[in-house]
Amino acid sequence: MTFIEGFTAGLLLITLSEIGDKTFFIGAILAMRHPRRWVFVGVTAALAVMTLLSVWIGQIATLFPQHYVQWVAIALFFGFGLKLLYDASQMSGQESLDDECEEALAAVKEREQGITSWSIRAVLLEAFTLTFVAEWGDRTQLATITLASANNPYGVLVGAILGHAICAAIAVTCGKLIAGRISERLLTALGGILFIGFGMLAAFNGGA
């Protein structure tokens, strides 16, 4: 697939998946406690490193027979998509993102316990560490690995990093306000549709 296709897939995946995620709230909470620009740099750096690792892992998968890699990618995309659509169908529409916010707040409080003074380096390290740990093994990481195995890796890398930067910017500027106006059911359903769309695209390209 082309760079543009990989870029678009990475950008859409991350932008829709990361808003309201635990890492989104970590950025929002830290921005209320520390200078926003340093929180943004730390969060974005962690997400960029995670994306780079995910794309690299995805490229390792391409060392296996491409036919099998393609079908595994298709199965994962459809699996993710159907699971998200099922979850959305079980929601009443009144759900909030409070659980994700509470988990993020607990992680921040645990990390900051006993610290009384903050340098720029300390803020950067906290933002980087909390974000990296929260993102490791997350659904978006697995999806990025899958995307990179079935699409142009450079396009996926640039698109995903840009998507992460956009979400991080939203989080540190008005994350709590935005999250309070977002429907978890809508986000989940959109994510499911997006994953199924990726699965259909991968199946089409695999059969081309």
**Closest C-alpha among 119, 19, 191 to residue 27:** 19
Burial of 25 (0-12, 13-18, 19+ CB in 10 A): buried
Q: How far apart are CA 202 and CA 200, in angstroms?
A: 5
Q: How far apart are CA 163 and CA 166, in angstroms?
A: 5
Torsion angle in degrees (nearest 10) through CA of 40, 44, 46, 49: -160
Q: Is the model's pLDDT at 101 over the cut of 70? A: yes
Q: How many CA atoms lie within 13 A of 62 on its CB side?
A: 14
Torsion angle in degrees (nearest 10) through CA of 47, 50, 56, 58: -90
> Is-contact 65 174, C-beta < 8 A?
no
pLDDT value for 166: 92
For the chain, the average pLDDT equals 85
pLDDT digits (tens, 9 = 90+) for 110-166: 888 877 778 999 999 999 999 999 888 787 888 888 888 888 899 999 999 999 999
